[in-house]
Structure 1
Amino acid sequence: MFKVKQNHTFQNPMRQQIDQTTQGKQSDYAHAVGGVNQILDRHDIGISSRSQASVIDNVKKVETGERSEVNAHQREALNFGRDAFESAKKGNYKQAGVEAFGSTVNGLASLFKSIYTETPSEKQGIPPH
């Protein structure tokens, strides 16, 4: 989908690990993660270890077909929502705002993907009944 800057040097090691996981992946999900991850690193926005692990797991499983992009976005909506709540409790409102926004965007992406992604039958030319 997009890379903001091809030669970006990651400042946050956790975001660099996410970037390394997206390298060479073909899914729309991995491409979106790669671009958003770079934007967030450029603006010094952190990520919790739980969400980092979840994003990496999602990228890998979406790529192999083990998880749908819809489900990956649903998982991220939940994880980023949890992170927003935890950050707000600690008084880190900037981080909480970014995480809440990420939760919302992933929820919307899940909805969009569920509406516009063909089912396996549709991909074979079999229309829905």
Structure 2
Amino acid sequence: MLSLFKIKSNHTFQNPMRKEIDQTTQGKKSDYAHAVGGVNQILDRGNIGISSRSQASVIDNVKKVETGERSEVNAHQREALNFGRDAFESAKKGQYKQASVEAFGSTVNALASGFKSLYTETPLEQRGITPH
């Protein structure tokens, strides 16, 4: 479902920070990486920037989710907090378009975290052990 965000396989990134995020998502298998890749491309096409803190966090999350070091739930929680912080900072600077996109990103990540936590099997469930 989330991989449908990928608009064009041959998109040329304008923002170097978004290009680096895209390169990190290439070849990754997780739903999280696919969602990040697609949304990142949409935001690049809309000329929407990203803070260096959030860029580093997204890249870290993509890598750690892929290796199993971090859950997708936790990755989305981290992004909800980071994008919320960015929205606040952008609004303080009078950058309301940027702030609204960041606030939307915070909300989407919070919702994704909730969805993933409800519909992702626990390690025990993945081994066939169901709660009683």
TM over 0.5: yes
Q: Counterpart in 2 of 1:35?
A: 38
Alignment of 1:8 with 2:11, yes or no, is: yes
Alignment of 1:47 with 2:50, yes or no, is: yes
Measured after TM superposition, the shift of residue 26 of structure 1 is 0.3
Q: Counterpart in 1 of 2:82?
A: 79
Q: TM-score, normalised by structure 2?
A: 0.97
Deviations 1:22-73 (A, max 9, x none): 0000000000000000000000000000000000000000000000000000
- Count how many residue pairs are aligned between Structure 1 and Structure 2: 129
| Aligned AA (1:64) | T
Q: Counterpart in 2 of 1:113?
A: 116
Alignment of 1:64 with 2:67, yes or no, is: yes
| Aligned AA (2:10) | N
Q: Which whole-Å CA distance do the structure 1 matches of 2:112 and 2:44 have between them? A: 21
Alignment of 1:91 with 2:124, yes or no, is: no
Measured after TM superposition, the shift of residue 128 of structure 1 is 1.2
Identity of aligned residues (%): 86
Q: Which whole-Å CA distance do the structure 1 matches of 2:76 and 2:112 have between them? A: 6
| Aligned AA (1:33) | V
Consecutive unaligned residues in structure 1, runs of 5 or more: none
Q: Which whole-Å CA distance do the structure 1 matches of 2:26 and 2:131 have between them? A: 35
Consecutive unaligned residues in structure 2, runs of 5 or more: none
| Aligned AA (2:102) | E
Q: Which whole-Å CA distance do the structure 1 matches of 2:57 and 2:127 have between them? A: 31
Q: Which whole-Å CA distance do the structure 2 matches of 1:125 and 1:68 have between them? A: 19
